[in-house]
Amino acid sequence: MSFVSPEFAILISIVLTLLIFIKAPLIRKLILLGASCVFYAWWDWRFLGLLITVTLLDYYVSHFLFITVSQNKRKLLLLLSIIPAFHVMKS
């Protein structure tokens, strides 16, 4: 799906309409996450695994960054989040 395709126009219209009417923050985040998955899957479904993995990894890294005081541990957590992105870019 391209940003200039009719499919994207339909997807963004649906997402924006839902976001206008739904005010619950968790539901809004889930709508955006679902729309991202649809967007990636439309282009190539094999990237869904990557999207889900990176989303979960970054979610948990951010959680541990929030509760960790040690600067060395925070740097290691940040590296844990960044290294997979470099691995994917090399592939």
Residue 45: pLDDT over 90: no
Cα dihedral angle (73, 74, 77, 79), rounded to 10 degrees?
-100
Sequence ranges of the domains in the chain: 1-44, 46-91
Which tens digits make up the pLDDT trace of 48-57? 888 888 889 8
Which tens digits make up the pLDDT trace of 65-80? 999 999 999 999 988 8
Contacts of 16 (CB under 8 A, 6+ apart): none
Q: What pLDDT sits at residue 91? A: 56
Can you say how many angstroms the Cα of residue 15 is from the centroid of all Cα atoms in its chain? 15
Residue 15 and residue 28 in contact, taking contact as beta carbons nearer than 8 Å: no
Q: What pLDDT sits at residue 85? A: 67
